[in-house]
Amino acid sequence: MVNRILALFALLVATATAATTTVTALAFGTVFPATTFGVAAVLSSSSVPFSIKNNNHQKNTFSTVLSLSSHRHHQQQQQQQQQIKTQLYRIRGGSSSSSSSLLNLSPAFIRMAETLAPKIGVITSTALYLAPAVAVMKAIQSNDRGDLNPIPLAVMSTSSLAWLVYGIIVQDPYVTLSNIGGTIASMGYIVGLLPLLASASSSSSSQDQNHNNNTNSVLLRQTQYVLMAGVSMTLLLWTYLGLTVMGVAPPFVLSIEEVGSVLGIFASILFILLSASPLSTIRTVITTKSSKSILGPFMIAQCLNTSLWTMYGLAIKNKFVWGPNSVGLGLGLVQLALKLAFP
């Protein structure tokens, strides 16, 4: 009883913290510019008007010199902004060319994809991560896992943390903000579910419940393996990259662009695994002709979320954003097909 209360409390705290943190961060994210070079753009766009009366030739000359100096300074700021933008594109694995030519789309649509889509994406990402909360709470309260599949939640904890670090490295506030809630909430899910799996697999039962206990025992081991593998790979990768940047491990010289690319590949692989993890029960779904093990809210949030992030990734030409999200969209549609075929 005490374990159930502690697990439920931990889940409630994690969920509340995730929601509060993400909403607060989103509020700040919508006030400030979307990207780092956006700050420079705002600063450079504001100029203090100089009112110099043309009373004589000297004042006219001074005004001309001042105007030329201001114009030259403005051009230098624009060049610096473009350099920062180009560097960020390289760090994010994208292209430094103008995104307005993407797929021959209009500049207005590109601007919307670069600003509005990721802002909504922060909300849908939070919804994706919080989608299992109700099912996990019910499982904890009833002390019964039911049809809830814990493997996607185990993958979620590592995937969201990897994307959080990637967003910080590539200086993308949207990617960073969208994974704060998921990192906290997913840890709460695992804290709440692991005791249920352990107690169910070790409890004595009648002959009719042996199959369910065996299933819980297998899921417990699989969940533990996924968690250990995810944590181990993450720590090993971070340690190696840190030692490489410090010049201790080969190749001894690793630029920030290369670090961003490695982290982007790692986060992309984890996200694809997360999107495909609900399909780990596909044999059960087809055999039992029931899709209860696939969470409906999680599936809907995944389809909507991956659509927005695919649009944003294409707009900023970041292959590590549009690549895994387009795959995740396809996997989400597969889950939708299974839900419709086996309601």
User: pLDDT tens for residues 249-259?
Assistant: 776 677 788 88
CA angle, residues 29, 298, 321, in degrees to nearest 5: 50
Same domain, 108 and 59: no
Q: Which of 36, 38, 35, 41 is nearest to 78 (CA)?
A: 41
In a domain, 44, yes or no: yes
Residue 134 has pLDDT above 80, yes or no: yes
| pLDDT score of 257 | 83
| pLDDT score of 31 | 34
Same domain, 60 and 9: no
CA–CA distance from 91 to each of 127, 167, 258, 259, 320 (Å)? 28, 11, 7, 8, 11
In a domain, 98, yes or no: no
Total domains in the fold of the chain: 2
Structure tokens at 93: 């694995």
Same domain, 316 and 185: yes
Which of 70, 91, 112 is the last residue in one of the domains? 91
Counting every residue written for the chain, the total comes to: 343
Residue 121 has pLDDT above 80, yes or no: yes
In a domain, 292, yes or no: yes
Same domain, 119 and 164: yes
What pLDDT band is residue 103 in, cutting at 50, 70 and 90? low
Summarised one tens digit per residue, pLDDT across range 139-166 is: 888 888 777 888 888 889 899 999 999 9
- Contact between residue 261 and residue 252 where contact means Cβ atoms under 8 Å apart: no
Using alpha carbons only, how large is the chain's radius of gyration in Å? 25
What pLDDT band is residue 66 in, cutting at 50, 70 and 90? low
Output the DSSP codes for 71-102.
Answer: HHHHHHHHHHHHHHHHHHHHHTT--SS-GGGG
What are the φ/ψ torsions at residue 95 (nearest 5 degrees)? -115, 150
Reported pTM: 0.67
Domain extent for 279: 2-32+103-341
Candidate ranges 15-24, 31-40, 247-256, 315-324; pick with highest mean pLDDT: 315-324
